[in-house]
Amino acid sequence: MRKRATHANEEADVNITPLLDIVFILLIFFIVTATFLREKGIDVRTPEDSEKDDTVVPPPALLLAVQEDGFVRVNNVRVIDPGSVKPVVQEFVAREPQGVVLVSAAPDSESGTAVQVMDQAQDGGAPAVSLALQKEE
């Protein structure tokens, strides 16, 4: 006896609806259980357009210039290591409580050094720390 092929013309059907249901359920689960962190970054403040007022006296400033070699020049007078910025800033804040700290980074200096100097200045108690890029000559 010979067997007849009864299913020769029928195509196999793949039902992907349950797969899509599972994928959407997992997507919703991961979205609901995810935690989003807000990391503290560098606060960049740009100057606003305003009229110059000659009666305003700028606060005293401490200039910390980050050099290409990784050292920090304090008020263009002395050179210190980036790790010893905190005591310098503490002394400045003790002398000038309303003073600001200006961090000026050389174009070829490493960004990590500038960030380390800014962190040290904030740890030293500076009320305001600003970052600027030195002009190339």
CA distance 103 to 112: 13
pTM: 0.58
Q: Could you write out the three-class secondary structure of the chain?
A: CCCCCCCCCCCCCCCCHHHHHHHHHHHHHHHHHCCCCCCCCCCCCCCCCCCCCCCCCCCCEEEEEECCCCCEEECCCEEECHHHHHHHHHHHHHHCCCCEEEEEECCCCCHHHHHHHHHHHHHCCCCCEEEEECCCC
Here the tokens at position 98 are 């309303």
Q: What CA–CA distance (Å, rounded) separates 87 from 99?
A: 15
Cβ(131)–Cβ(42) under 8 Å?
yes
Q: What is the pLDDT of residues 1-28, one digit of tens each?
A: 566 656 656 777 888 888 999 999 999 9
pLDDT digits (tens, 9 = 90+) for 55-110: 778 888 899 999 999 899 999 889 999 889 999 999 999 998 888 999 999 888 88
Residue 29, pLDDT score: 92
Token digits for 137? Answer: 């000559």
Residue range 113-137: mean pLDDT, rounded: 86
Q: Which fold has domain 61-133?
A: Nucleotidyltransferase; domain 5 (3.30.420)
Tokens of 62: 């401490």
